[in-house]
Amino acid sequence: MQQTATPMTFLTPVKPVEAQTWPVDEVLELFDLPFNELMFRAQVVHREHFPDADVELATLLSIKTGGCEEDCGYCPQAARYDTGVDAKKLMGLEEVLEAAKAAKDHGATRFCMGAAWRSPKDRDMEKVEAMVRQVKAMGMETCATLGMLKEDQAQRLKDAGLDYYNHNLDTAPEFYGNVISTREYQDRLDTLGHVRTAGLKVCCGGIVGMGESRRQRAGLIAQLANLNPYPESVPVNHLVQVEGTPLHGLDPLDPLEFVRTIAVARITMPKARVRLSAGRREMGDAVQAMCFMAGANSIFYGDKLLTTGNPDAQDDRVLLGKLGLKTRGVVEQGGCK
């Protein structure tokens, strides 16, 4: 996959948007600030909109793993790549509810269910709707990531009680073809439009460290910030390189560049929950601490994401405690219980 230099363009969501408030050049200017200045600006914005400085704990469960027909260059679940991930059937309801209960017992307030589909079939929708209804009945926020959605599918999920739908843009429009060829960028925007029309909240972010330039990272953030409205949740993933995928073997992204990405996301989307997602286990405590200073206030919590590793829940509790960060929904002050 060779990086190509093409002009920056914005693609059009399903519904028209207001005038863009974050041109790519302005986002790039934020990236280019001296590090301390950028961190200071991000902290000012963060404290204004999140005075409690709490961290949301969200748990992600792969309810249907592997066998995906897409060719996303980062993904070990693509059937065409030999990554050691076997295709599995959709999990049963009881197994999902058991995982949700365990997540809640460990302090998670949001439970996200992910399936390795290009898009769900009708026979799958009924089963997922049942999962959503019963997880919601447990008192947790519900989220799902199931691939591309039609309008009626988004509405069915809303009717079942889904709170958030995750559908990432992954990268800037002009770099997208370097990573994925089996769906268009506009397909992703169309799904986000269906999700908004149904009245669902949007969880949408991307992946950095896939060989993109800083300007292309700025392009991703601008694309997210100029959605109308911008996402309520913005997961920022650091590429976890998996042997067998096309992106394995890339030079790793400088950790401070990742921290800059978090800070710029906070400044441009001030009210969003900016989530540290994939790649935390490789970051170490110091980089994660800087990310929290830069405005991150959500993490995926639990020892596994869809297929890749994640810090142990106990390790996260220790880190948040050392940093004096409380968690959303936890009454105790001064740390994570």
Active site residue 203: yes
Statement: residue 13 has pLDDT above 80: no
Q: How far apart are CA 100 and CA 154, in angstroms?
A: 22
Nearest to 136 by CA among 117, 109, 156, 155: 109
Instruction: Express each pLDDT in 113-171 by its tens digit.
Output: 998 888 899 889 999 999 999 999 999 999 999 999 999 999 999 999 999 999 999 99
- Count CB atoms within 10 A of the CB of residue 284: 12
| CA-based nearest residue to 250, from 178, 191, 198, 197 | 178
pLDDT band at 315 (very low <50, low <70, confident <90, very high): confident
Q: What is the pLDDT of residues 249-280, one digit of tens each?
A: 899 999 999 999 999 999 999 999 999 988 78
Torsion of CA 61, 65, 66, 67, to 10 degrees: -130
Global pTM reads 0.86
Of 41, 68, 196, 204, the active-site residue reads 68
204 tagged catalytic: no
Active site residue 336: no
Given 217, 266, 275, 328, which residue is catalytic?
275
Element (H, E) at 123: helix 122-137
Distant-in-sequence, close-in-space partners of 91: CB < 8 Å, separation ≥ 6: 61, 63, 64
Q: What is the pLDDT of residue 137?
A: 95
- How far apart CA 330 and CA 80 sit, in angstroms, is 43
Q: Which of 110, 156, 203, 328 is catalytic?
A: 203
Out of 41, 72, 260, 336, the active site residue is: 72
Question: Which residue, 111, 96, 98, is CA-closest to 57?
Answer: 111
Residue 89 has pLDDT above 90, yes or no: no
Q: Which of 110, 143, 260, 291 is catalytic?
A: 143
Instruction: Tell how many helices (H) and how many strands (E) occur in the chain.
Output: 10, 9
Active site residue 72: yes
Taking Cα atoms as reference points, which of 235, 140, 234, 154 lies closest to residue 190? Answer: 154
